[in-house]
Structures are given as C-alpha cells and as structure tokens.
Amino acid sequence: MSRINTNVASLTAQTSLVNSQNALNTSLQRLSTGLRINSGADDPSGLIASEGLKSEIAGINQAINNSTEATNVISTADAALGQVSDLLLDIKGLLVQSANTGALTPDQLAANQLQIDSAVQSITRISNTTTFAGLNLLNGSLNYVTSGVNNSAIQGLQIDQASFGQASTIPVQVNVITSARPAELQFQASAITKTTTLNIAGASGTTTLSFTSGATASSIAFAVNRVSDTTGVTAHLINSANPNSGIAFASTGYGSQSFVSISALSGGAFATEDSKGDQVGRTVGVDAVATINGALTVGNGLDLHVDNASLDLSLTLGKTFGIGKTSFDITGGGALFQLGSSVQSNEQVDIGIQSIAASSLGDDETGYLSDLVTGGSATVTNGQAESAEQIVELAITQVSNLRGKLGAFEENTLSTNVNSLNAALENVTSSESTITDADFAAETANLTRAQILVQAGTSVLATANSTPKDVLSLLQQ
C-alpha cells in the first residue's frame, strides 16, 4: 500500500537516528570528561553513592593532613624536651661535682651555682617559648584543668588523656579499697640483752650496726635513722610516750616494692614480728587498691593509674588518706586532635601536655627545680647538693616520661592512623572510581557503534524520504 501523507519508514528511521545521535553524544561526553556519570540522569542511584563517597574521601584527606600536622606539633614539643633533658643532665653533673666539697673552693661552688641558675632559667625559657604556629606547647596551656582536688587525699595528679565527648566536665571518683602501707617489723623488747650486730636491709641498700648489751630501743632507733638514707629503713618507738615499748622498723617507701629485713649476724637472736604477730625477719609493704570511675586498679605503693578509652591518669595518694573516697572534676584543657574523617568524639584524641617550667618540675614532697637557683632551699652554695639531686632526678623522670608519652602517641596513634587512613583512602577512591569514572575501552567501542549507527541511520532516512516519489510513476502511466 502506497501513501504520501504518512511516511512511517521515515519516522522509524528518524527515531532510530535520534537514539543513535544521543548515544554518540553520550559517548563523546564520557570520553571527553572521563566520567561515566556527568549528571543525575546518567545514574541517579550511582550519583547518590558517588557523592557520599566523595564526601568521605574529602574527610579522609583532611584527616591525613590533620594527623601529619599533629605529628609536627608532637615532634616540635619532643625536640624542645630533648634540650630540657640535656640541661637537666648538665645540672646533675654539676651537683655531683659540687658534692665533692673536699676538693672545691667556695669560689668554685659559686661558679657551679651560677651555671645551675643559668640552666634552670633556660629550662623555663624553653617552656615559655616553645610554640607551633603560635600555639604554646610546654607552658602548661595544653594541660588539663581540674577543680575540687583534695590535696591531702591526692598529693600528685597527672592527666595524660581525657575524652570529653559532648560533656563539659569529666567527674572522677576514686574509691580506695585497700590503703598502701610501708613494710614494718617490730622488736617488742625495750633493750637487748647481748652485744649484737644487726644486718639491716631495705629498698635503698644494706648496712650493719653493732650494739652493746643493754642498748635501749631508743638508742637502736636513733642509730638506724642515722643511716636511713642508705637503707631505706627508719625506726621509731612503738609507743612514743613509752620508751620501753620496743621498736617499729618501717620502710621509707610504700607498697610491695618496699621491704624491711632485720637479722642478727652475731650475739644471738633478734626476734622481730610482722603486723600479724608472726615471728619473721623480712616483710614487704602493701600496694593501694582502688577503683577510679568504677575501673579496678592495683597501685604501685601510693601510685594509682587508670588507662581506658575515655581517661588516662596517674595519681599519688596522700600517706595519711587510708581507705575512703575522694573526687574531683576535669573541667577543660588538653590538646584535641581530629584524626578521623567525621567530627565525632570517637574519631578525636585529646592529650595533655604539662608545663616543664622550673616551678612545675618536681613535687611538693621532694621540692621543685626552681628551689635550685640562688636564694632557693636546695642550692649547692648552702650545701644542699643531695636534696638538689633528688629534685633533679625527679625532674629527669618527669621529662623522660613526658617524652615517652608523646613518642608513644606519635608512633602508636598518629603514625598508625595515617597508615590506616591511607589504606581507607585507597579503597574508598577505588570504589568511587568504579561508580563514576568512564571505562574508556567500553566507551570507545560504544562510540564506534554509535558512529556507524548514525551514518547508517542517515542513509536509511534518506532512502525512506525518497520512497513516496515512487507514487509519481503510477500517475505517469
């Protein structure tokens, strides 16, 4: 049947040609942009998934940058702490030299004191001037702020990490179940009946003391206390009001690492008893046992430590605190590092960096590094080299512990976090690429096919458009 008003073949060819041209345009767009999805119409669900992955990639990239910057902050602080350690070691050497008073003149001691003054001032200067991009690192501005600390119950407190989350404060409750105690032995007699040589040993060392027959408890205690710095053992009357009450020997330290050993080398038995009344010659102290925010911790003497995902702190109980509860609040401070791709508390790490100024290194019991400068209570010109050395040893321990903490944070948290983020970035980028990027091999094949179809469609359309002309041949007959 021949018609001229409606050319169905032409319409069919036009439709096919339009589809082929659209396919050609799509292939050209994908090849020119390198993307399979250039608009939502290309793949709506794929676009949604792709945008989510792109958001995650942006977060991971920034988290990697954050971790790298955090590493730079920690490295800067560690380098400054290294200089402080060197200065403390120099001070240590000067103190040991100054203790050699038999070979030093007063002028030499004064010269050593000047060097100590200069070194201590340099430590404080480093504390005040160590910065990273304007952020003070070692002056205590990154330390945690607390309130409500009972100084008689808690004599030392260091908070290394605290996770606030959405809270403004972190309450800390300490419940001491077992109090720390020194090692103790008792000699119940008021005097010895035979000339006796005693071997007295403690955590600091061992010495021997000889006593004549009839030596009283008070004279024995006096002799033991004269060498307590050598042995780590002190002595006192069991009842200070009764000179005939006998002797109590006690370790200067608390906990299971402290001990007292009393034995008679000659002169017969020197019977001592422990707190249970058993006749023994050696006993050890008792470590404190407590819960901190519900977490059970067995201390080292008076020292308690808790370390979990939300809180990492160390504290030293007061010697007279005993069994009971004490509490305080952490109200702020610390250095917050965003290490994850999302702003969530479980992807953040908060770490405290205490001040290393001379007035902060040390403690209330031993003294502070600032006591070593001229006019202080532990100067070498006043013959206090021994006290000064104890302070310096404590300061060296505090600085080395801080360096160790920062080093562990850099190695175990920041470095591993960067490695983990790089692996995640690789996988997420691969997933996003699979959804979004064009497959050039496939698109090249599609382009060739579309080009052929467009050329064929154009030729077919021309043929379809010429078909109605055949009607004229019917009219010419």
- Summarised one tens digit per residue, pLDDT across range 185-194 is 999 888 888 8
Residue 32 located in a structural domain: no
Classify residue 165 as left (phi > 0), alpha (psi -120 to 50) or beta: left
Q: Which residues of 134-164 are buried (b: 16+ CB within 10 A; e: fewer)?
A: eebbbbbebbbebeeeeeebbbebbbbbbbb
Nearest to 110 by CA among 381, 385, 383, 377: 381
Question: How far apart (Å, rounded) are the C-alpha atoms in residues 264 and 270?
Answer: 6
Give the pLDDT score at 476. Answer: 66
Residue 16 located in a structural domain: no
Q: Which of 82-96, 148-162, 257-271, 425-439 has the highest mean pLDDT?
A: 82-96
- Summarised one tens digit per residue, pLDDT across range 206-219 is 999 999 988 888 99
Query: The domain that contains 210 carries what CATH number?
Result: 2.60.40
Question: How far apart (Å, rounded) are the C-alpha atoms in residues 60 and 326?
Answer: 42
231 against 48, higher pLDDT: 231
Over 80: is that where the pLDDT of 267 sits?
no
Kindly give, in sequence order, each residue whose CB lies less than 8 Å from that of residue 52, ignoring residues fewer than 6 positions away: none
Count how many residues are written for the chain.
477
Give the pLDDT score at 2. Answer: 62
Residue 322 located in a structural domain: no
Over 90: is that where the pLDDT of 156 sits?
no
Over 90: is that where the pLDDT of 450 sits?
no
Instruction: Judge whether 299 and 305 are in contact, CB under 8 Å.
Output: yes
Domain carrying residue 238: 184-284
Residue 79 located in a structural domain: no
Question: How far apart (Å, rounded) are the C-alpha atoms in residues 257 and 358?
Answer: 30
Residue 228 located in a structural domain: yes
- Other CB atoms within 10 A of residue 217 CB: 24
Instruction: Judge whether 335 and 350 are in contact, CB under 8 Å.
Output: yes
* Total structural domains within the chain: 1
Classify residue 305 as left (phi > 0), alpha (psi -120 to 50) or beta: beta
Over 70: is that where the pLDDT of 380 sits?
yes
Pairing of strands 135-136, 295-298: unpaired
Residue 146 located in a structural domain: no
Q: What is the DSSP code (8-state) at residue 193?
A: S
Nearest to 91 by CA among 117, 63, 67, 55: 117
Kindly give, in sequence order, each residue whose CB lies less than 8 Å from that of residue 278, ignoring residues fewer than 6 positions away: none
Over 60: is that where the pLDDT of 1 sits?
no
Strand-pairing partners, residue 286, are 181
Residue 218 located in a structural domain: yes
Instruction: Judge whether 30 and 38 are in contact, CB under 8 Å.
Output: yes
Residue 258 located in a structural domain: yes
